């Protein structure tokens, strides 16, 4: 079965390379490896080299070296399992927030009533203390990773709602009218005109979602996660300044790396357009 799975992934990578280039082939290989090993079981050399290659391709060799140095420092510091757990939680939370919040943002962009309902809810979520998000999660679920995921999502779901709505509402009217006059349906207008034009604003919302999810890690550690946030609390309890500093810098490193990769990707997209 393992040999058959490897052959299938290699065939998919070869087809992707032939049709879309070597980058698509590398994405297919990475996806197949993650499906085989699981996110938490991904070998660290593959992970570090893959992210460094991605950063260098998107934003230049300097960011690739920065990613390589940062992940190497975290690895030799003994915080690699906590790093992978943090990435797992934040990646899942960001994807769910982007799907749910993006759908709500599109709905609010097309409905003033929905927009009026969502605005006070988003204001409350943005101004509420971060510790409060743990209360509703603990009311329905036990202490653990799922509770931390819910708390992170409650805090990070606001940016995609606001930015998607803002981006869609401020698309140039003449472009939308031209597309509609050519006979495009509302769905085609949204997918092929409004969303591509609003992409820089949407990407800014995605950036803010990632930052919010990473900032919530230390708070989510109170409900039993085994990530970098917990390493910060353990260092605080032991008065271990070195571990606390490395864990905090690791979270900051993830935030900076994600921000620079997204900026580089958006910049290349603009140049291509």
Q: What are the structure tokens assigned to 245, written together?
A: 């500093």
Q: What is the pTM of this model?
A: 0.80
- Tell me what the pLDDT averaged over the chain comes to: 81
Question: What's the rounded mean pLDDT across residues 6-18?
Answer: 80
Could you give the CA distance from residue 195 to residue 197 in angstroms, rounded to a whole number? Answer: 5
Nearest CA-CA partner of 79 in 249, 257, 212, 223: 249
pLDDT given at position 273: 44
C-alpha dihedral (83, 88, 92, 95), degrees to nearest 10? 60
pLDDT given at position 271: 42
Contact by Cβ (8 Å): 259, 207:
yes
The burial class, CB within 10 Å (0-12 / 13-18 / 19+), for 85 is buried
Question: What's the rounded mean pLDDT across residues 189-196?
Answer: 81
Least-confidence region, from 114-128, 241-255, 259-273: 259-273
DSSP-derived secondary structure for the chain: -HHHHHHHHHHHHHHHHHHH-HHHHHHHHHHHHHHHH-STT--HHHHHHHHHHHHHHHH-HHHHHHHHHHHHHHHHTT-HHHHHHHHHHHHHHHHHHHHHHHHHHHHHHH-HHHHHHHHHHHHHHHHS-GGGGHHHHHHHS-SSHHHHHHHHHHHHSHHHHHHHHHHHHTS-HHHHHHHHHTT--HHHHIIIIIHHHTHHHHHHHHHHHHHHHHHTHHHHGGGT--SHHHHHHHHHHHT-HHHHHHHHHHHHHHHHHHHHHHHHHHHHHHHH-
State the pLDDT confidence band at 269, using cuts at 50, 70 and 90.
Answer: low
**pLDDT tops 80 at residue 70:** yes
Domains of the chain, with CATH numbers?
Answer: 2-76 (no CATH), 80-272 (1.10.3720.10)
Higher pLDDT, 266 or 170: 170
**pLDDT tops 80 at residue 229:** no
Could you give the CA distance from residue 257 to residue 63 in angstroms, rounded to a whole number? Answer: 8
Could you give the CA distance from residue 101 to residue 160 in angstroms, rounded to a whole number? Answer: 5
pLDDT given at position 268: 64
Could you give the CA distance from residue 131 to residue 233 in angstroms, rounded to a whole number? Answer: 15
pLDDT given at position 149: 84
Question: What's the rounded mean pLDDT across residues 137-144?
Answer: 74
């Amino acid at each position: 079965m393992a040999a058959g799975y490897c052959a299938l992934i290699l065939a998919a990578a070869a087809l992707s390379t032939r049709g879309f280039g070597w980058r698509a082939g590398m994405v297919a290989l990475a996806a197949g490896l993650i499906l085989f090993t699981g996110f938490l079981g991904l070998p660290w050399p593959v992970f570090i080299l893959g992210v460094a290659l991605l950063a260098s391709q998107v934003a230049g060799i300097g960011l690739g070296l920065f990613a390589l140095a940062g992940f190497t420092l975290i690895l030799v510091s003994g915080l690699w399992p906590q790093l992978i757990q943090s990435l797992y939680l934040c990646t899942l939370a960001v994807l769910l927030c982007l799907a749910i919040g993006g759908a709500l943002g599109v709905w609010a962009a097309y409905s003033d009533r929905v927009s009026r309902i969502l605005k006070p809810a988003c204001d409350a979520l943005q101004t509420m203390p971060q510790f409060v998000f743990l209360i509703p999660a603990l009311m329905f679920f036990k202490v653990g990773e799922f509770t931390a995921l819910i708390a992170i999502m409650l805090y990070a779901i606001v940016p995609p709602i606001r930015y998607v709505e803002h981006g869609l509402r401020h698309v140039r009217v003449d472009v939308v009218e031209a597309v509609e006059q050519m006979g495009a349906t509302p769905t085609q207008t949204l997918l092929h005109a409004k969303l591509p034009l609003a992409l820089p604003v949407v990407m800014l919302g995605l950036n803010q979602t990632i930052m919010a999810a990473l900032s919530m890690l230390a708070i989510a550690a109170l409900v039993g996660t085994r990530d970098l946030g917990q390493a910060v609390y353990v260092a605080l309890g032991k008065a271990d300044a070195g571990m606390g500093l490395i864990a905090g810098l690791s979270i900051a490193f993830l935030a900076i790396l994600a921000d620079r990769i997204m900026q580089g990707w958006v910049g290349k997209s603009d140049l291509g357009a």
